[in-house]
Amino acid sequence: MLTIGAFAKACRLSPKALRLYDELELLRPARVDPETGYRYYAVEQLERARLVAWLRRLGMPLARIRQVCALDGPAAGREIRAYWARVEAETAHRRDLAAFLVDHLTGTSGKDTTMLELRYAALSDTGLVRPANQDTAYAGTRVLAVADGFGSAGAHASTAAVEALKILERETHETRDTRDTLSAGNVLNLLDDAVQGATRAVRDIATADKEVGTTLTAMLWTGSQLALVHIGDSRAYLLRDGELFQITHDHTLVQSMVDEGRLTVEEAAAHPQRTLLLKGLTGGDSVPSPDLRLQDALPGDRYLLCSDGLSRVLADPDIERTLASVPDPEEAARTLVAGANDAGGPDNVSCVVADVVEATEV
C-alpha cells in the first residue's frame, strides 16, 4: 500500500486532485484508515491513475474520463479518438471564425475596380413522394438561402427562417446603391442578428412542438465576397474553373461518425439514421452555433445551395456536370430539380444557383 503522498508522486497527480477524484468516484483509494481518515492506494491502481492524469492533460472533462476508465483498452481508445475529433471540430469552427476576420481585415478585393454582381435563380419542388413541400429557397441581389424544414410545422419553420434573413436585403440596400462593400464587423453582426432573428422566428412557430425546426444554408453578398452561414444538412457548393467543391460540412450524426473514423462514407450513405441532424434551428433551448465562412468572389464563380433532397439523390459528379454545362442559372436549377425527380424524387428538393458576374449597370 502507498500513502496518498507517495501515490501522488508516482502517478503525477496532486494529493488534492486525488481527494477530488475519490469524492467523484473516479479513483477510490484501496483503503481508508477508519481512525485517521488517511487514504491508501494499491500499486495496481497506478496504471489507472496515470491514465487519468494524461487524460486530464488532454483537457478531457472528469465525467468523460470516468466513462473512459470503465472501458476496456480498444473501447477506451475509440472513446478518446471520438473525444479528440470533437475537440478538433470545435477548434475548426473557431479557426474559421478567425480566418473570416483575417480575410476581412486584410482583404484587398474590395479595392478591385471590377464591379461584380450576382445573377441568380431559386427553385423549390415537392418531389414525387412527399405530400407537401417543407423546403424554402430564396435568391435576391444580396441574399441566397435554402432551408429544409422538419417536424409538424416544418414548412412554416423554413419559411420563417428565410424571411428573417431577407432583412439583410433591406438593411444593406443603401450600401448596394453606393457600390460600397460591407465592413468586417458589419457582416458578422448582420449575419449574427439575422440568425438570431431566424431562431426566434422558428421558436415562435415551434412553441407547441419542440421537434419542429429547419436547416439553414445562406449566403450574404458583400459586394466583393460572399459570407456563408450554415447549420444543418443542406449544402453549399462552389463551381470554380469547372471543378465542384462542397464548402459546407453536414451537421449530421453520420458525418460526425465519418469524421471520427467510425463509419466510411459508403456506410454513412446507407445508415438507417443518415438523416439525423446534430444541429439545426429548432424549438429547443439549445443556442444555435452556425458555421461561418467568407468566400472571395471571382468572376465566373458559380454557387449552388441545395437541400438534401438534391445531394442525397444526385452524386457530386452529376451535379458538377449540370452546373458546368448549363449556363443560365434558372435553367441549371430546373435541370437539377428535374434530375432529382427523375431519380425518384424521394424528398423535397431545392436549389439556388448564383453566378458571380461583372456588373452590367454603371
Angle, CA of 267, 271 and 272, to the nearest 5°? 165
Q: Which stretch binds Mn ion (CB under 5 A): 8-16, 145-153, 166-174, 201-209?
A: 145-153
Q: Give me the amino acid identity at 71.
A: L
Q: Is the CB of 82 or the CB of 338 nearer to Mn ion?
A: 338
Cβ at position 328, least distance to Mn ion in Å = 25
Q: Is 233 in the site for Mn ion (CB under 5 A)?
A: no
Alpha carbon distance 43, 3 (integer Å): 10
Cβ at position 220, least distance to Mn ion in Å = 23
Q: How many Cβ atoms from other residues are within 10 Å of residue 349's Cβ?
A: 33
Cβ at position 306, least distance to Mn ion in Å = 10
Q: Is the CB of 136 or the CB of 199 nearer to Mn ion?
A: 136
Q: Is the CB of 308 or the CB of 320 nearer to Mn ion?
A: 308
Q: Which residues pair with 281 in a beta bridge?
A: 214
Q: Is the CB of 150 or the CB of 303 nearer to Mn ion?
A: 150
Cβ at position 236, least distance to Mn ion in Å = 15
Alpha carbon distance 65, 67 (integer Å): 5
Angle, CA of 80, 86 and 89, to the nearest 5°? 145
Integer angstrom CA distances of residue 104 from 22, 183, 293: 50, 7, 11
Among candidate residues 247, 236, 225, the one with its CA nearest the CA of residue 296: 225
Q: Is the CB of 109 or the CB of 246 nearer to Mn ion?
A: 246
Interface characters, 270-309, with Mn ion (x: CB under 5 A)? -------------------------------------xxx
Residue 319: all three cell numbers together: 451535379
Cβ at position 87, least distance to Mn ion in Å = 30
Among 2, 347, 350, 353, binds Mn ion (CB under 5 A): 347
Instruction: Cite the DSSP H helix spans in 70-148.
Output: 73-106
Spatial neighbors of 137 by CB under 8 A, at least 6 apart, are 122, 123, 124, 145, 146, 147, 162, 305, 307, 350, 351, 352
Alpha carbon distance 362, 357 (integer Å): 14
Interface characters, 307-336, with Mn ion (x: CB under 5 A)? xxx---------------------------
Cβ at position 276, least distance to Mn ion in Å = 13
Size of site (CB under 5 A) for Mn ion: 5
Q: Is the CB of 290 or the CB of 309 nearer to Mn ion?
A: 309
Integer angstrom CA distances of residue 133 from 85, 136, 319: 35, 8, 22
Q: Is the CB of 104 or the CB of 279 nearer to Mn ion?
A: 279
Among 79, 148, 250, 320, binds Mn ion (CB under 5 A): 148
Cβ at position 347, least distance to Mn ion in Å = 4
Alpha carbon distance 73, 59 (integer Å): 20
Cβ at position 308, least distance to Mn ion in Å = 4
Chain contacts with Mn ion (rule: CB under 5 A): 148, 307-309, 347
